[in-house]
């Protein structure tokens, strides 16, 4: 046993090590047996297992025990579509359109899409699945004028990004994404098949076309137990390189409150 950390942290490390050596779907030893082996109370062990279930490492089946869960899907922070992301990982993407309506943008959405508040906008609520398992809920907003004739059915049978390119001739350019931790609401939990208030990621993506016009604003809730975010990190530029290129370093604007 290592000399650092609380009892729970040590138990957590031990159970995670154990999970790593097991296959998806294997049952971990019974709580009573594990607690004895690790010389901790069943309450301590149960707390650790509860955390690991919440974080998506284990699945608990009542009256039967805890089982090793599927590994999380590594979501790279790039502008790919849900369909491509899933295919790259060997899953079959699918989707259900829970709602598709055309509404006036209204003030807030109009600012995001950079149009007038009266501009008609298609709003689609999409349940996204991988191998038939619900993974995310997305609320897509796109200018109605950009996607004439778009139906709920279209979004169930094709990728939206493919439709944009093939049917509407829209070439995607850049995107910006804000990510925040959140928990699922009652409605989201029911749709995703997870307990109420499960951890989740909230993504808000604004995508522009190659000329810089806003194409979509999408609010997505991704299951926190099935996803982890990954990013490629570039080496920071060294300050002496910057100075050599652009003369004296600029002053840093400080704000005081
Ligand atoms: C991701 C993005 C959405 C985008 C969607 C397109 O999920 N968060 O902003 O609309 O991909 O996915 P698809 O082309 O599979 O419909």
Task: State the Cα torsion 167-170-176-180 to the nearest 10°.
Answer: -10
Q: What does the alpha-carbon distance between residue 256 and residue 248 come to, in Å, rounded to a whole number?
A: 24
H helices present in 39-136, as ranges: 42-54, 82-88, 106-113
Q: What's the mean pLDDT when you consider all of the chain?
A: 89
**Torsions phi, psi for 42 (to 5 deg):** -65, -30
Using most ligand atoms within 8 A of CB, pick from 76, 78, 82 the residue to mutate for ligand 1: 82
Contact 238, 253 (CB under 8 A): no
Which of 3.40.1410.10, 1.20.1440.230, 1.10.10.10, 3.40.50.2300 would CATH assign to domain 73-230?
3.40.1410.10
Residue 254 predicted with pLDDT over 50 = no
Nearest CA to ligand 1 atom 6: 81
Q: What does the alpha-carbon distance between residue 156 and residue 176 come to, in Å, rounded to a whole number?
A: 25
CA of 20 to the centre of ligand 1 (A): 32
Residue 175 predicted with pLDDT over 70 = yes
Does the beta carbon of 203 lie inside 6 Å of ligand 1?
A: yes
- Residue 80 neighbours by CB distance under 10 Å: 15
Residue 65 predicted with pLDDT over 50 = yes
What per-residue confidence (pLDDT) applies to 155? 97
Using most ligand atoms within 8 A of CB, pick from 80, 89, 218 the residue to mutate for ligand 1: 218
144-165 confidence digits (pLDDT tens): 999 999 999 999 999 999 999 9
Average pLDDT over residues 130-134: 95
Average pLDDT over residues 224-247: 76
What per-residue confidence (pLDDT) applies to 2? 44
7-68: which CATH architecture? Orthogonal Bundle (1.10)
- Nearest CA to 81 among 136, 146, 120, 150? 136
Task: Kindly tell me the number of DSSP H helices and DSSP E strands found in the chain.
Answer: 9, 10
Confidence band for 251, pLDDT divided at 50, 70 and 90: low
CA of 242 to the centre of ligand 1 (A): 37
Contact 199, 224 (CB under 8 A): yes
Nearest CA to ligand 1 atom 5: 81
Residue 22 predicted with pLDDT over 80 = yes
Residue 165 CA: distances (Å) to CA of 101, 161, 162, 187, 197: 22, 6, 5, 32, 37
Q: What does the alpha-carbon distance between residue 222 and residue 136 come to, in Å, rounded to a whole number?
A: 4
Confidence band for 241, pLDDT divided at 50, 70 and 90: low
Q: What is the pTM of this model?
A: 0.78
What per-residue confidence (pLDDT) applies to 5? 63
Average pLDDT over residues 227-231: 85
What per-residue confidence (pLDDT) applies to 121? 97
198-224 confidence digits (pLDDT tens): 999 999 999 999 999 999 999 999 999
Task: State the Cα torsion 132-133-139-140 to the nearest 10°.
Answer: -40
Helices 7-21 and 42-54 cross at an angle (nearest 10°) of 60
Average pLDDT over residues 84-97: 92
Residue 184 CA: distances (Å) to CA of 8, 58, 75, 148, 228: 26, 19, 19, 33, 16
**Domain ranges within the chain, ordered by starting residue:** 7-68, 73-230
Average pLDDT over residues 102-113: 94
Does the beta carbon of 75 lie inside 6 Å of ligand 1?
A: no
Rg of the chain (C-alpha set): 23
Does the beta carbon of 81 lie inside 6 Å of ligand 1?
A: yes
Q: What does the alpha-carbon distance between residue 202 and residue 179 come to, in Å, rounded to a whole number?
A: 6
Q: What does the alpha-carbon distance between residue 22 and residue 18 come to, in Å, rounded to a whole number?
A: 7
Nearest CA to ligand 1 atom 2: 81
Nearest CA to ligand 1 atom 7: 82
Average pLDDT over residues 183-197: 94
CA of 159 to the centre of ligand 1 (A): 7
């Amino acid at each position: 046993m290592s000399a650092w950390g609380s009892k729970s942290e040590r138990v957590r490390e031990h159970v995670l090590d154990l999970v790593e050596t097991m296959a998806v779907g294997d049952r971990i030893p019974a709580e009573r047996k594990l607690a004895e082996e690790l010389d901790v109370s069943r309450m301590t062990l149960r707390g650790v297992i509860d955390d690991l279930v919440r974080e998506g490492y284990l699945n608990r089946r009542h009256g039967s025990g805890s089982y090793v869960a599927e590994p999380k899907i590594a979501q790279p922070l790039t502008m790919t579509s849900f369909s491509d992301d899933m295919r790259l990982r060997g899953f079959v993407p699918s989707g259900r359109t829970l709602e598709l309506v055309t509404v006036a943008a209204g003030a807030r959405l109009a600012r995001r899409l950079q149009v007038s508040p009266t501009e008609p906008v298609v709003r689609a609520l999409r349940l996204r699945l991988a191998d038939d398992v619900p993974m995310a809920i997305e609320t897509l907003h796109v200018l109605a004028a950009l996607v004439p004739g778009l139906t709920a059915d279209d979004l169930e049978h094709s990728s939206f990004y493919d439709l944009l390119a093939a049917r509407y001739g829209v070439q995607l350019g850049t995107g910006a994404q804000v990510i925040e931790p959140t928990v699922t609401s009652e409605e989201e939990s029911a749709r995703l098949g997870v307990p109420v208030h499960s951890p989740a990621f909230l993504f808000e993506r604004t995508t522009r076309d190659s000329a810089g016009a806003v194409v979509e604003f999408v609010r997505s809730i991704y299951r926190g137990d099935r996803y982890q975010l990954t990013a490629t990190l570039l080496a920071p530029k060294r300050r002496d390189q910057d100075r050599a290129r652009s003369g004296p370093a600029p002053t840093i604007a400080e704000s005081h409150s």
